[in-house]
């Protein structure tokens, strides 16, 4: 099938043939989507050195990005990809905040974070190629514009993280757990997008990204489990932080309208709800975090008008800013 990437490790051209009008989802990937989150119920690997050794640039040389010109993605899928591209490109800014804490003292953590940031960069670059194939702005110019739109309070985040780290030795436990939740949600989001778009080339690209996200999950979940198991204070602090402040990846960075669209498009239907429930079960298996239901509650908040009582502070701030803008435009 023209436009489908060759299997990894294979050589030579892909057999010819045109895309059908509605490209079928590869059978392998359908199973991968269904089990991508649930597969990680077992013990997480403890070989951190192996995780680091296996890190690397995302392999896309055999992906036929030209297929998107011949068989373009629908508008809703492209809108989600813009969001994902921008969030992947913001990883270096997230890294800035983590390294402002005592996490930078742990050489195992910093070795992983270096690999994590490198891989996430290439995820963003791959998504940029998809956008560029549709004539969309992408890459450094798009990221520069996105960062110029960041609120002024973003400049104070490293200071806030440094102060929090000075107040408690358990801030790394919070970071590891937060990272695990975000990576579970990210991997599920890519799986849901592939399932809804049903485009073979995009499916193969997202499958490769999800595989690398799985390694990130392994590290974060292991670090979270170890640190939470070691300290009741870490469990209480992490539970409080997640319940009070957690919001889906990209909240506070991306416009509220885009966050709401992505959540509603990927997670508001039956299969999306099932994915959020799997995420919540995985979070609930971490020591002290049972019953939080973070992902499903986020869909409840963001797929409809937020309540000031149930929305997180980040979401309330986004909503209030939107209301203020609407009032100014009405005057």
Residue 267 lies in a domain: yes
Q: Specify the residue for token string 């079960």.
A: 281
pLDDT confidence bin for 31, thresholds 50/70/90 = very low
255 exposed, middle or buried (CB, 10 Å; 0-12, 13-18, 19+)? middle
Is 142 part of a structural domain of the chain? yes
**Is it the case that residue 327 has pLDDT exceeding 50?**
no
Largest CA distance in the chain: 64
pLDDT at 257 over 60: yes
Counting the structural domains of the chain, the total is 1
- What per-residue confidence (pLDDT) applies to 9? 38
| Domain of residue 289, CATH code | 1.10.620
Could you report the per-residue pLDDT of 308-321, keeping only the tens digit for each? 444 455 555 554 55
Secondary structure of 93-140 in the HEC alphabet?
HHHHHHHCCHHHHCHHHHHHHHHHHHHHHHHHHHHHHHHHHCCCCCCH
Query: What is the model's pLDDT at position 52?
Result: 78
pLDDT in tens, 124-162: 999 999 999 999 999 888 888 888 888 888 889 999 999
- Please give the residue that has the higher pLDDT: either 317 or 173: 173
Asked if the model's pLDDT at residue 284 lies above 50, the reply is yes
Q: pLDDT-derived band of residue 252, with 50, 70 and 90 as boundaries? A: confident
* Of 114, 134, 138, 136, the residue nearest 126 (C-alpha): 138
**Which pLDDT value is given to residue 144?**
85
Is residue 254 very low, low, confident or very high in pLDDT (cuts 50, 70, 90)? Answer: very high
User: Which one-letter DSSP state was computed for residue 275?
Assistant: H
Q: Examine residue 13 and state whether it is found in any structural domain, yes or no.
A: no
Handedness of CA 192, 198, 199, 200 (dihedral sign): positive
Return the DSSP state at 269. Answer: S
* pLDDT surpasses 90 at 207: yes
Q: Of 101-110, 142-151, 263-272, 286-295, which range is least confident?
A: 142-151
Which one is predicted more confidently, 44 or 198? Answer: 198
DSSP letter for 36, please.
T
Q: How confident is the model at residue 305 (pLDDT cuts 50, 70, 90)?
A: low
Q: For 19-33, 50-64, 191-205, which range has the lowest pLDDT when averaged over its residues? A: 19-33
Q: Is the pLDDT of residue 64 over 90?
A: yes
pLDDT at 328: 47
pLDDT band at 53 (very low <50, low <70, confident <90, very high): confident
Instruction: For Cα atoms 55, 60, 63, give the angle at the middle one, nearest 5 degrees.
Output: 150
Q: Would you state the torsion angle of the CA atoms of residues 216, 110, 176, 122, taken in this order, to the nearest 10 degrees?
A: -30
Q: What is the sign of the dihedral through the CA atoms of 167, 170, 175 and 181?
A: negative
Q: What is the pLDDT of residue 321?
A: 53
pLDDT at 58: 96
Per-residue pLDDT, 146: 84
Domain-embedded: residue 115? yes
Q: Which two tokens stand for residue 101?
A: 């804490």
Q: Name, of 2-6, 17-21, 193-197, 318-322, the range with top average pLDDT.
A: 193-197
Q: What pLDDT sits at residue 299?
A: 97
Domain membership flag for residue 3: no
Whether 17 is in a domain gets the answer: no
Q: CA-CA distance, 134 to 240, in Å (whole number)?
A: 43
In the DSSP assignment, the letter for residue 41 is G
Tell whether 144 is covered by a domain. Answer: yes
Which percentage of the chain shows pLDDT scores above 90?
66
Q: Which domain holds residue 176?
A: 46-330
What DSSP string describes 157-185? HHHHHHHHHHH-TTHHHHHHHHHHHHHHH
End-to-end CA distance of the chain: 56
List, for residues 270-282, the tens digit of each pLDDT value. 999 999 999 999 9
**Residue 35: pLDDT band with limits 50, 70, 90:** very low
Top pLDDT among 14 and 316 is at 316
C-alpha span between 300 and 267 (Å, rounded): 10
pTM for the full predicted model: 0.79
Answer yes or no: is 29 within a domain. no
Residues 6+ positions from 318 with CB-CB distance below 8 Å: 251, 252, 256, 259
* CA–CA gap between residue 316 and residue 308 (Å, rounded): 6
Q: What one-character-per-residue DSSP string does 223-256 give?
A: HHHHHHHH-HHHHHHHHHHHHHH---TTBTTB-H
Query: 12: left (phi > 0), else alpha (psi -120 to 50), else beta?
Result: left
**pLDDT over 60 (residue 290):** yes
Q: 275 near 301, Cβ under 8 Å?
A: no
């Amino acid at each position: 099938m023209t436009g489908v990437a060759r299997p990894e490790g294979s050589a030579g051209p892909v057999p010819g043939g045109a895309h059908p009008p509605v490209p079928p989802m590869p059978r392998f990937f359908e199973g991968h989507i269904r089990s991508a989150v649930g597969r990680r119920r077992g013990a997480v690997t403890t070989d951190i050195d192996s995780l680091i050794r296996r890190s690397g640039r995302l392999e896309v040389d055999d992906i036929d990005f030209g297929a998107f010109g011949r068989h373009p993605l629908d508008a809703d899928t492209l809108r989600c990809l813009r969001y994902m591209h921008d969030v992947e490109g913001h990883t270096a800014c997230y890294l800035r905040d983590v390294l402002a804490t005592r996490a930078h003292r742990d050489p195992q953590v910093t070795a992983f974070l270096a690999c994590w940031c490198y891989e996430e960069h290439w995820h963003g670059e791959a998504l940029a190629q998809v956008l560029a194939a549709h004539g969309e702005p992408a890459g450094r110019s798009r990221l520069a514009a996105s960062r110029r739109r960041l609120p002024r309070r973003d400049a104070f985040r490293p200071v806030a993280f440094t102060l929090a780290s000075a107040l408690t030795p358990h801030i790394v436990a919070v970071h590891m757990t937060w990272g695990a939740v975000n990576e579970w949600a990210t991997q599920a989001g890519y799986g849901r997008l592939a399932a809804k778009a049903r485009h073979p080339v995009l499916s193969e690209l997202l499958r490769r990204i999800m595989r690398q996200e799985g390694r990130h999950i392994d590290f974060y979940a292991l670090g979270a489990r170890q640190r939470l198991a070691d300290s009741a204070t870490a469990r209480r602090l992490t539970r409080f932080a997640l319940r009070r402040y957690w919001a889906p990846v990209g909240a506070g960075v991306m416009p509220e309208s885009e966050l709401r669209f992505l959540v509603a498009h990927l997670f508001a239907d039956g299969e999306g709800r099932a994915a959020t429930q799997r995420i919540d079960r995985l979070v609930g298996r971490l020591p002290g975090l049972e019953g939080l239901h973070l992902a499903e509650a986020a869909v409840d908040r963001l797929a409809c008008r937020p309540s000031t009582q149930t929305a997180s502070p980040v979401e309330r701030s986004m909503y209030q800013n939107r209301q203020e803008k609407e009032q100014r435009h009405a005057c």
